[in-house]
Amino acid sequence: MIAQGWSGELRHIHIAPAASYEMEELSQANLIAGKGIEGDRYYVGTGTYSARPAVREVTLIEAEVLDHLEVGEPQVPGIKLKLAPADHRRNLTTRGVPLNHLVGKRFKVGDVVLRGARLNFPCKYIEELLGIPRLFESLLNRSGLNCAIEVGGVIRPGDRIVPLES
């Protein structure tokens, strides 16, 4: 059953074959329940954090965060950062989706059902990899959401994202 309140859109899909590799943008992706996105580093177990027990089958970030970084608000006053959708190292870029409120909640991306597992925390690794000073602190409390895939399927940019009754 679909809940009321908000709806958003999937804007970008990215995967990388292994840790530190450049992210590749996809026009569609196959998400496998309990496993991840086919071809992604966490699906095949070559991601930086693959050995950790935290759920990381698919990661999301809000496009609004990228917009805010570019104009320098509100996290780190005076710091403006241009971060392209391929740079943030998350799999899915959303618009209109309140990711921080979806921990423990179920929602649909197209026909795929995800469950928000935990907030994604920034790390110094991304700052070093991209060579962008202060990126770590700029992403605090808005670095995205790690999710489990409950019902797999194919997703594409433009797919609607809607909440489900838990």
Q: Where are the domains of the chain?
A: 8-163
Task: Specify the amino acid at residue 4.
Answer: Q
Give pLDDT tens digits for 9-36. Answer: 999 999 999 888 889 999 999 999 999 9
Give the separation between CA 29 and CA 39, rounded to whole angstroms: 9
- Report pTM: 0.88
- Residue 77 above 70 pLDDT? no
Assigned CATH for 8-163: 2.40.33.20
Both tokens assigned to 92: 């899915």
What pLDDT shows up at residue 52? 55
- Residue 125 above 90 pLDDT? no
6, 98 in Cβ contact below 8 A?
Answer: yes
What pLDDT shows up at residue 72? 79
